[in-house]
Structure 1
Amino acid sequence: MGFFHTELRQLYHTVRLFEPAVIVKNFSNMAQIFPSITITRTGPVDPFEASPQPLPSTFSYQGADHSIQQWLSASGTTALVVLKGDTITFESYYQGTDEHDSRISWSMAKSFLSALFGIAVEEGAIADLSTPVTDYVPGLKGSGYDGVSIKDVLQMSSGVYFNEDYGDFNSDINRMGRLMALGGSFDEFAATLQRWRTPGTYMAYVSIDTHVLGMVLRAATGQKITDYFEAKLWSKIQPEGDAIFLTDSTGEPMVLGGLNIKSRDYLRFGKLYRDFGRFNGEQIIPAQWIEDSITPDAPHLVPGKRDSANTHWGYGYQWWIPEHANEEFVAIGIYGQYIYINRLADVVIVKNSADTRFMENNYESMELALTAFRAIAESLANSP
């Protein structure tokens, strides 16, 4: 009876996960709702200096001035941390949260998985991105992933059909959420999906693509993802908190969106990418992998309005590239999670949110956030 009680409790919280009355609390306490695994931090903490500076009061979007404070409030912000060089210039927490909260990444976790993938490629565990994922994961033969190259999956161009509408109870993403609550395997779920388009021709955001990359990574390295994550990334960047991954009932981590860490640790990851994969003199992530990750290399991936994508933003290896980007790239999670990286300004900005209006127009939400981030970065242009 206790077993079913746990499942029913998880299902109850899954159905209510995004309700306005509980969304803020939920997003800082996901491990109390779903099964999870903790990757414990060890060693010293990478320190940040602090030199507080005010945010710009306004930013301009589509010819109108917008108040930064009103935007922060309207977009359900729970944390905003700004890094210039190695110095935090702004850090604030909202809606009753604080610096100690472990915050859900949602799809920002995809960019972390990309980092691990690049390390595996550099180490020779994955020799060729043109290799079909089914060469590593035979269990996907007969599914929509049969014969699809690793690179097409990395670039959200698998051609597999996946309904990502969080507002549709019967969507694939919500079915996956209920699978987490009631028990089941993400691996088996991926094997049920079917082909929609020719791979490598259309950029369509398919979250389960990232889980398939995780399946490939496990097969290629012969290691658990959490072990690889700890050895190759988490133990290297001197975080201040543990990393917590939500899992399915088999214990497999939700690499497509189930990472929970502190806001300043998201900042450390962004800093690592801003600094070409180097930390304290050590090359943690291959520099070439990072450049390939943020360089769209096919027409359907290049930023701008196009018929071969369902977004104006460009896409790389699990990273977003905005229109008119100038050494800028972004990790984005639903409901307003961002790691914004601007190399020219030497700036990283982390925004965590519980934005209940994000799904009403996620494109405008992303554009507003981008414009605000650019204004913040520009305001720090003359800072040392």
Structure 2
Amino acid sequence: MSPRAALLLAVLPLLALGGCVPSGSMKAPQAAASAPGIRSNPGGPDLDRYTNNAGQYPRATPATWWQPVYSVDGFSRLDEIFSARVVSRAPAPRPWRRAAAEPALQYSAPPMRGGGRYDIDGYLARNPATGLLVAVDDTIHVERYQYARSDAHRMVSFSMAKTICAILVGLAVADGAIASIEDAAERYAPALAGSEYGRTPIRHLLTMSSGVRFREDYDGRDDTVKLSRAMLFGPGGAGAVKQFDTREAVPGARWYYASSETQVLGLVLTGALKRPIADYLSERIWQPIGAEADASWVIDRTGQETTYANFSAVLRDYARLGMLLANGGKVGTQQVIPADWLREMTRAHFTSTQTGRWFGYGFQTWVFPENDGSFALLGVRGQTIFVDPQRRLVMVHTAVRPDARDAGGAEATALWRGLRQHFPRRAG
């Protein structure tokens, strides 16, 4: 163990007792008390990358939160660093059961990660996961935290938020606020009138096939940086996406991943609903699933939610969302998400060959290439919800991977495959 890592383990108990929460847009998270069966690690792999010279997880700021050394704090406190809107929890949480023991499983690490066989302990020793939760039906089988994170921390979603946005579009259609996904975006977001995104049908925004030029390569100079700067530090609103206004293909002709398309969907939702997206999410999803803690969504200067990213929630509520999807959009007997919309969301409108990403793509949702009904919500730097409806199996994974293209994502998928082998398909 390096001197920095040793110092970290020595000072963490003091930080937990004496730390204070700085002022921010939201108060420190409130969640149900820690339950038996939760396992926490004050450290984690590669501590020197994530701690300062004093062996501490340094506090992130708007200027530093993306850097690896600040990411442990920044990724679990983003709604205090930036302005955010509350997604209110349910009056009474929907309870979880607890398995008597964690599953004794092994998985095969991919060759790009050196191969070998590992169990859950081995996975966490090799990967900078801040949280890992595995649930089947109403039972939690694994709940782990690292880097002094806990079940009270709201972990950032990054692009997992895109799938949440697509769910809300479906609900807005069911409620009649959006007449048809064949409508052009500008019908509901008049500030986009006359722009290429404004002329794009909602359907093709949902499938990332608008045909509007947008480069998302995570090299620090791409269009994602321009979008994020406009949303988090600039004027926000429609101007954040109108800067991308060159059409390269007709809508629906090609697939290209672009966070701007989800932000356009957010503008459509705001215009159609005529109320904050966070409030609608609370009413239609967060409270019906019995969420135990308030969630949050970062907003720009206009009050618009950054629907392409920056949603935050505690792990057990992410798992409740995942189980809603695994159960065909139902909570108990209540159909929360229309079943036909969920089927459209989670089938491959573009195949893995067309995306070039191993996954196929549905409505803002990644579809496993087996096309067996399993799918994923994915965010950069290791944020993941994997869903297998046939097994009623959900894996929630939050992390501080140092790079957006980190190969560790392949190992998370390998762990998921190990879980699928361990848990049988469910009847019915």
Shared topology, TM-score over 0.5?
yes
The corresponding residue for 1:53 is 102
Selected match of 2:419 from 356, 376, 380:
376
Greater radius of gyration (CA)? 2
Are 1:214 and 2:294 an aligned pair? no
The corresponding residue for 1:295 is 347
Are 1:130 and 2:179 an aligned pair? no
In the aligned structure 1, how far is the partner of 2:198 from the partner of 2:270?
18
- Provide the secondary structure at the position in 2 that maps to 1:230: helix
Per-residue CA deviations over 1:33-88 (Å, capped at 9, x if unaligned) read: 11111122231101100013235233253594342444434431011100012111
Selected match of 1:190 from 236, 241, 245:
241
Q: Structure 2: 5+ residue runs without aligned partners?
A: 1-23, 25-59
In the aligned structure 2, how far is the partner of 1:280 from the partner of 1:381?
21
- Provide the secondary structure at the position in 1 that maps to 2:282: helix
Matched ranges for 1:30-41 at <5 A: 30-41=78-89
The question of whether the paired residues in 2 share the 8 Å contact of 1:139 and 1:191 is answered with no
**TM-score, with length taken from structure 2:** 0.80
Percent identity for Structure 1 against Structure 2: 28
The corresponding residue for 1:342 is 388
The question of whether the paired residues in 2 share the 8 Å contact of 1:85 and 1:346 is answered with yes
**Per-residue deviation at 1:120?**
1.2
Matched ranges for 1:1-384 at <5 A: 13-51=61-99, 52-59=101-108, 61=110, 64-68=115-119, 69-168=121-220, 170-194=221-245, 195-297=247-349, 301-303=350-352, 305-306=353-354, 309-360=355-406, 364-381=407-424
Per-residue CA deviations over 1:320-359 (Å, capped at 9, x if unaligned) read: 0021242210000111111101122221110011111442
Following TM superposition, the consecutive aligned residue runs of length 4 or more in structure 1 with deviations greater than 4 angstroms are none
Judge which range, 224-233 or 86-95, deviates more.
Answer: 224-233
Q: Structure 1: 5+ residue runs without aligned partners?
A: 1-5, 7-11
**Per-residue deviation at 1:181?**
4.3
Q: Which has the higher contact order (CA 8 A, sep 6+)?
A: 1
- Provide the secondary structure at the position in 1 that maps to 2:171: helix
- Provide the secondary structure at the position in 1 that maps to 2:116: strand
**Per-residue deviation at 1:199?**
1.7
Report the number of matched residues: 364
The question of whether the paired residues in 1 share the 8 Å contact of 2:109 and 2:116 is answered with yes
Per-residue CA deviations over 1:193-217 (Å, capped at 9, x if unaligned) read: 1223322111111111111111112
**Per-residue deviation at 1:29?**
0.7
**Cα 1:66–1:161 shift into 2, 3 Å:** farther
**Per-residue deviation at 1:283?**
0.9
The question of whether the paired residues in 2 share the 8 Å contact of 1:330 and 1:341 is answered with yes
The question of whether the paired residues in 2 share the 8 Å contact of 1:55 and 1:376 is answered with no
The question of whether the paired residues in 1 share the 8 Å contact of 2:189 and 2:198 is answered with no
**Cα 1:243–1:78 shift into 2, 3 Å:** same
- Provide the secondary structure at the position in 2 that maps to 1:330: strand
Measured on the aligned residues, the alpha-carbon RMSD in Å equals 2.2
Per-residue CA deviations over 1:209-249 (Å, capped at 9, x if unaligned) read: 11111111222222221221122112211101101111111
